[in-house]
Amino acid sequence: MMGPCADADAERRPPGRPRSADADRAILQATLELLTESGVASLAIEQVAARAGVAKATIYRRWPNKEALILDALAGTVDEKPIDLPGTSMRDDLVALVQGIVGRSVHTGRGQLYAWMVAESERNPHIAHKYKSLVVERRRELISSVLRHWQERGELRPDIDIEIAELLVTAPMLVYRVHWNPGVEPPADLAAQLVDAALSGIAAPQP
Amino acid sequence: MMGPCADADAERRPPGRPRSADADRAILQATLELLTESGVASLAIEQVAARAGVAKATIYRRWPNKEALILDALAGTVDEKPIDLPGTSMRDDLVALVQGIVGRSVHTGRGQLYAWMVAESERNPHIAHKYKSLVVERRRELISSVLRHWQERGELRPDIDIEIAELLVTAPMLVYRVHWNPGVEPPADLAAQLVDAALSGIAAPQP
Amino acid sequence: MMGPCADADAERRPPGRPRSADADRAILQATLELLTESGVASLAIEQVAARAGVAKATIYRRWPNKEALILDALAGTVDEKPIDLPGTSMRDDLVALVQGIVGRSVHTGRGQLYAWMVAESERNPHIAHKYKSLVVERRRELISSVLRHWQERGELRPDIDIEIAELLVTAPMLVYRVHWNPGVEPPADLAAQLVDAALSGIAAPQP
Amino acid sequence: MMGPCADADAERRPPGRPRSADADRAILQATLELLTESGVASLAIEQVAARAGVAKATIYRRWPNKEALILDALAGTVDEKPIDLPGTSMRDDLVALVQGIVGRSVHTGRGQLYAWMVAESERNPHIAHKYKSLVVERRRELISSVLRHWQERGELRPDIDIEIAELLVTAPMLVYRVHWNPGVEPPADLAAQLVDAALSGIAAPQP
DNA sequence: CACTAACCGAGACGGTACGTCGAGTCTTAAC
DNA sequence: GTTAAGACTCGACGTACCGTCTCGGTTAGTG
């Protein structure tokens, strides 16, 4: 018979002193603070170490380089609270979604970091992948589930590709906020206008 | 009659040796080369100077810092050749436009630089302004003139705000290329699909 | 009786990696080499670093500026071997001393550095102090002990101030070598001539 | 018949605009000012040009480099007023001379410059030569003429080499002021003490 | 309890680039 | 041909971080 410690397949604890969880927390928090205070470009590991009250080596023992640290710091903070949908109609749900999605990256000041990720994506596939799974796919899951829900209920055209619909609904607000008017609050009714246009199209009706 | 000194409006040449136009060219070209070779983050003024065959001071005499140099280097190269529109219908024009606009920033490898500008915009209003006038407004002028043209001809709904229409038409492709699939060639028919969806809307027709 | 913790006077080692003694040596040696090869004026920290195979920061961590480095480099090399005196008479001792003292600063090529120290002394009290303790006082100790020795034995006038005697004996050779004929070997009998003149005076004897 | 301009043998005036004598003066004066204000090491031609209200090229047209300029600036200012000798006895003349000679280089703040010249002499023969003719020989002429004068009158030992006597009389004060006590006023009677010791010697008289 | 192994802080290490300064030269237009 | 002005190349300055290393010392599990 086996005793209570039959952990044959348990993961072996490595010998030696285990890494300090306090250090982990302090480093990530210091990183986030400095990131929001001074931006990605001027983030210095030495400052992170100083603020976290930690040796530089302690950081490099956990992350291979600056990028990895930033990525992890970000990962811990994306979109905590869900967006609540009215559920009364597709139009209402989409307006709430468009409003909420964009609000997130802007109000948390994370917009700059996302843009940095996009910029680095071209050269650093790790960042590209992280950005996709962290930001893009989280958004897409949200919006696509809503769209599919209303497609089953007949409010979304059955012949439309969900991917196309996602783009049509979310991209305009994103571009407006991030590219056209960075840092400016959009008009309150913009989300509604965009969703309405996406729903009914912009072509003049055939006579 | 004018006297011999009628150069009231002549622009005074400043005293001293004029700045070398050769140096200007060499610096900007070297910057652009290094930018495309190694990215924004790792661009070093010393390397620019070395490649341009120019002293570092010669660069700093012209631009106060790295950002200003990059901005100027970019400015000289945006959107040289026009996009030719078929003109046969609004749909055909928009498809050509959507195809063309995005192709530009991607095939020239300028995508990363634009993302960098967006990232820096939050902290550096100069960059924000430059990005707007250089990238955003150029695109918008193009698309809005086309839209207005077809609105007069009755193909675009007369009650639609042009700005909303611009977003609906261009944003989806931008988001697809830049955020969803950075560096990947989109399916050939994507532009058409997006434009068609924008034109006719995604809502199921009322019975 | 002492308790178990009687290490009250133990010197605490500072935390962190200790400075490399190899680097110390390499830097000082490189400094000395460049100093003798190219002179004080054209000594460049960057070249010192390059020759010592050391990073520039490693130098600046130890010395606040070029002057301090030069001073330390000098300090390590002053007057290693003693001058041996015959001891047969005051005259013989002084001739040997005068010969030897000046030979030192000249044959080691240190003459230029001493002149540089004198020149900087006016503006930099640190250098003034270092020059005094390093060069002047070392010489003076030597000569004054010899003079005192022979004063006790009645060969030096008992009413003469030792300081005056020091000057009278050593200054002429110094001025000859450094000011009148820089870099030229003096006649072999100059030391003897100068000492003899200093001993017996230059005034014609009273009839 | 010849006109009023029959300057057949006159030295040909070169064509073009003659060099401005004002510029010469302004440059030399500015150099001297900056030299006394900030020392040799930190003298910058650019600052000289700025203060003199002159272009840098105007300086380089006249002097090949910084050293040459400094040398010329110095040359214009050495020993303006003569030292007046009492003439009552050799002892009185020598005391006045010793007093006066050293006072010069010190009270005019020229001491540092002389030391700089000595330091550079080793590597730059031009400076060595200039120092010799400008400083050393001027002093030596003065002192040697006095010594010769009194030798003829029997106050200086007839068998003594003038050169030796010069050294014995002037070197001690020089070393005292420049090497032992830079920037400090010597005791009022030091000159007398030194001269007296040089005259009568420091050896105890034979019984 | 001693041993071992990995952790911790501190900070030095070789590098690379920063943005500034000055040297000495060159190129304008004006005189 | 000289002048003021200011550009040019070159080389060094002193600083800031990078990512790595070496210290003395700590903190777990294992023998």
Give pLDDT, residue D3. 41
Q: How many CB atoms lie within 10 A of CB C128?
A: 18
Contact state of D41 with C202 under an 8 Å Cβ cutoff: no
Q: Is the pLDDT of residue B9 over 90?
A: no
Residues C113-120, mean pLDDT to the nearest whole number: 91
Q: Tell me the torsion sign for CA atoms A55, A60, A63, A67.
A: positive
- DSSP structure class, residue A109: T
User: Is the CB of A25 within 7 Å of strand E?
Assistant: no
Instruction: Give distance CA C144 / C1' E22 (Å).
Output: 47
B71 in Cβ contact with B126 (< 8 Å): yes
Residues B166-193, mean pLDDT to the nearest whole number: 92
Both structure tokens of A198: 């996406």
This prediction's pTM: 0.86
Q: How confident is the model at residue A163 (pLDDT cuts 50, 70, 90)?
A: very high
Residues of B in contact with A170 (CB under 8 A): 175
In the 51-110 stretch of chain D, whose C-beta falls under 7 Å of nucleic acid strand F?
A: 53-58, 61
Q: What's the rounded Cα separation, in Å, for the pair D61 and D64?
A: 7
- State the smallest CA–CA distance between residue C93 and chain D in angstroms: 13
Residues A147-165, mean pLDDT to the nearest whole number: 96
What confidence tens digit (pLDDT) does each residue in D170-187 have?
A: 999 999 998 998 878 889
Q: Is the pLDDT of residue C10 over 70?
A: no
Of residues C76 and B203, more confidence is placed in B203
Q: What's the rounded Cα separation, in Å, for the pair C117 and C128?
A: 7
User: Is the CB of B12 within 7 Å of strand E?
Assistant: no
Q: Is the pLDDT of residue A2 over 70?
A: no
User: Is the CB of C19 within 7 Å of strand E?
Assistant: yes
Residues A97-108, mean pLDDT to the nearest whole number: 78
C92 in Cβ contact with C61 (< 8 Å): no
- DSSP structure class, residue B51: H
Instruction: Give distance CA A49 / C1' E14 (Å).
Output: 21
Q: How confident is the model at residue B6 (pLDDT cuts 50, 70, 90)?
A: very low
CB-based burial label for C190 (10 Å; 0-12, 13-18, 19+): buried
Q: What's the rounded Cα separation, in Å, for the pair B192 and A161?
A: 13
What confidence tens digit (pLDDT) does each residue in C16-52 have?
A: 999 999 999 999 999 999 998 999 999 999 999 999 9
What confidence tens digit (pLDDT) does each residue in B11-50 have?
A: 677 888 999 999 999 999 999 999 989 999 999 999 999 9
Both structure tokens of C61: 């961590």
- State the smallest CA–CA distance between residue C89 and chain D in angstroms: 12
